[in-house]
Chain A
Amino acid sequence: MADKSKSKWDGYSLKPRRRMPDGLWMGCPSCQHMLHKKTVEKNLYVCPECEGHFRINGATRIAQLADEGSFEPMCQDIASNDPLKFECSGKKYKNRLKEGRKKDGGDEAILVGKAFIRGRGVMLSVMNFDFLGGSMGMVVGERFCVAVDKAIEESLPLVVVSSSGGARMHEGVVSLGQMAKTSAALAKYDEAGGLFISVLTDPTTGGVTASFAMLGDIIIAEPEALIGFAGPRTIYQTIKVELPEGFQRSEFLLEHGFIDMIVHRKDLRSEIGRLIDYCGK
């Protein structure tokens, strides 16, 4: 609400109009409907009109997915040391990291920790698209590997929610190496017999899709999420051909046999719980 103490009415001029708080309403990006923010929030950030799934940040995702208050974050006190000393038109990568940390979603592009989903203990890793496009750098790779190690140690199922633009360019080959690193960790996890449920959300592209996201024992996607190796713009620029309708969306991937199921956000918790009952230890 507007701050009342600030609006000083002198008693004779026109009474100041009550200010409308910012961000009470929002437009749905897919159907352009005007929506009340509170309703959307209650509806798990899904448009009540068109069932379009909005992009949500890591913290919100955890709040939706994990049992209330059960998430215990791990491996928090690490930050990238900027191996390349990357600078782009006067803007330093280090400063961009600092800016990113000020946002609410989380302090990096991934949050990992133990949690419960419908009472089942899991190792939960959630990517945070709000932080530099959810790109995978050294911190993401390390946190992912730590989570996998811990999951092996404690025989926990691993649930990873991906939403990422790919590898982080600012870290060069170090971030490319994270693809190999996370995949190698998953090979260990696979040998230990753990269950890995990969949840793909809008958008999951590039190096993340080409490494751990596609290595799930069970791969779930949210409806109409963009999932692919190269982004649609890159493809268009390379081959200059109009891309077909629904290209690289979840339904497209399901049709081509690369994901197991498409699950609505409201059913995600129960679906993961069920799958753990079947396959978990």
Chain B
Amino acid sequence: MVGSEIKLNGDQYLPFEDKIAEFDRRIAELQAKASNDGSDCSTEIRRLQRVQTSELKKIYSSLSAWQTVQVSRHPQRPLLGDYLNLMVKDFRQLHGDRTFGDDPSIVTGFGQIGRERVLIIGQNKGRDTKEKIACNFGCPNPEGYRKALAKMKLAEKYNLPVVTLIDTPGAYPGIGAEERGQAQAIAVNLMEMSRLKVPIICIVIGEGGSGGALGIGVGDRLAMLEYAYYSVISPEGCAAILWHDGAQANVAAEALKLTSKELLKLSLIDDVIPESLGGAHRNIHDTIYNVERYIVKTLRDLKRTKIENLLENRYRKLRAIGTTFEKPTRRKTEAVKPTKKQPERPTIPDRLSIEAQLRQTAQIPVEEAEAKEPQTAAKE
């Protein structure tokens, strides 16, 4: 791992925050001096604080990708528990996937955000060592994804919007997880979330690691906190595979374009929720308030949309991911070219669906036929 945190005054500083730590130390000294001999150091303290704030602004306005990853993994960064405490009123946790067990790394339950009643699904990393081990350090098992899906179906039945808070390094790669079908659990979630008949808001609050994040991350809106990251593979994993050296994680992080700013530029996420100055851990309340406001505002928008349109938009959005293509520089079709046609075999147009055949024979204009289809579907 690149660099370790310096422990000072109970606060943890990241390796690139040396100057901030120094300011904090000097302020603490002055405060101690003031309380010991009663001298007035308030002007000096205020000055130091001002300089420190501007320094923080400077550092955080130009974080590198790897530094962002470090902020998103900060040990004091607000976790799911903090969001549930500060943002959600009257949280009623629901346990168990009804098949195998209950995965503590995915928490599901009903709750009220603002005035909206929603189903909350969140990934929990755990704060202390005991909790961390219970939660697999935020790496969910298949039963977690199945639990999430079961509760989403419940929300669909009672027409409650779904809010998911994503914070995971990735789905758990273990023997048990494979035996119980990690891949299948995630795959089914992707498919079902793409057609769940209630609004879904997904927010990456910390780490958005690969399929583990996507497993509860398909919805109408995908937002990220400013210093969260979202990636197809962890920077360490990418470095180990492509650079053959796990220590190149900082280079890999840069190449993967995993910060909220870059992803918004590529329009792969919808919104970025601002964090407090110097990262969410410096002012938990402000950050969580921003998240709450975002959810309330977005839900109001989404609820105004008809559910059919919502689903259509969701599908179109998913379908549009990565559709700006180039022409291939060199086409190689020899390998797959049909060699010779056998005339006696029926050609594919003969095997069209009945509707398609009718449309062809009756020469019905396509627009008319399409206009008719939704009506028949509604009747069924």
Contact = CB atoms under 8 A, between A and B. Distances in A.
Contact of B232 (A173, A188, A243, A281): A173
Contacts of A84: 255-257, 266
B329 A79 contact: yes
Interface in B182-202: 182-184, 186-188, 190-192, 194-195
Interface stretch (B11-19, B90-98, B341-349): B341-349
A138 B243 CA distance: 23
Nearest to A114: B348
Given A179-B214, A244-B175, A247-B175, A214 B187 contact: yes
B329 A211 contact: no
Nearest to A209: B183
A177 B336 contact: no
Contacts of A145: 319
B341 A69 contact: yes
Contacts of B379: none
A144 B184 CA distance: 19
Contacts of A179: 190, 211, 214
A238 B209 CA distance: 15
Contacts of B374: none
Contact of B187 (A98, A171, A178, A213): A213
Given A67-B345, A175-B232, A238-B174, A210 B186 contact: yes
Q: Tell me which of A59, A104, A174, A247 has the highest count of chain B C-beta atoms within 10 A of its own C-beta.
A: A174
B184 A214 contact: yes
A73 interface: yes
A7 interface: no
A234 interface: yes
Contacts of B326: 78-81
B325 A78 contact: yes
A207 interface: yes
Interface residues of A, number: 91
Interface in A49-106: 58-59, 62, 67-73, 76-81, 83-84, 86-89, 98, 101-102, 104-106
B181 A141 contact: no
Contacts of A24: none
A177 B321 contact: yes
A241 interface: yes
B266 A228 contact: no
B319 A178 contact: no
Q: Tell me which of A79, A230, A238 has the highest count of chain B C-beta atoms within 10 A of its own C-beta.
A: A230
A187 B188 CA distance: 10
Nearest to B256: A172
A203 interface: no
A235 B174 contact: yes
A215 interface: yes
A277 interface: no
Given A181-B321, A187-B195, A87 B255 contact: yes
B210 interface: yes
A223 interface: no
Contact of A98 (B184, B268, B323, B329): B329
Contacts of B339: 68-69
Contacts of B338: 69-72
Contacts of A168: 232
Given A173-B268, A177-B318, 16 more contacts: A70-B342, A76-B333, A79-B325, A88-B242, A101-B331, A106-B335, A138-B321, A138-B323, A145-B319, A156-B351, A167-B233, A173-B231, A174-B268, A178-B321, A184-B191, A184-B218
Interface of A: 58-59, 62, 67-73, 76-81, 83-84, 86-89, 98, 101-102, 104-107, 111, 113-114, 116, 119, 121, 137-139, 141-142, 145, 153-156, 167-169, 171-181, 183-188, 190-191, 206-207, 209-215, 228-230, 234-235, 238-239, 241, 243-244, 247-248, 256, 258, 281
The 8 tightest CB contacts between A and B, nearest first, are A138-B322, A230-B173, A177-B321, A183-B190, A184-B194, A155-B353, A209-B183, A79-B328
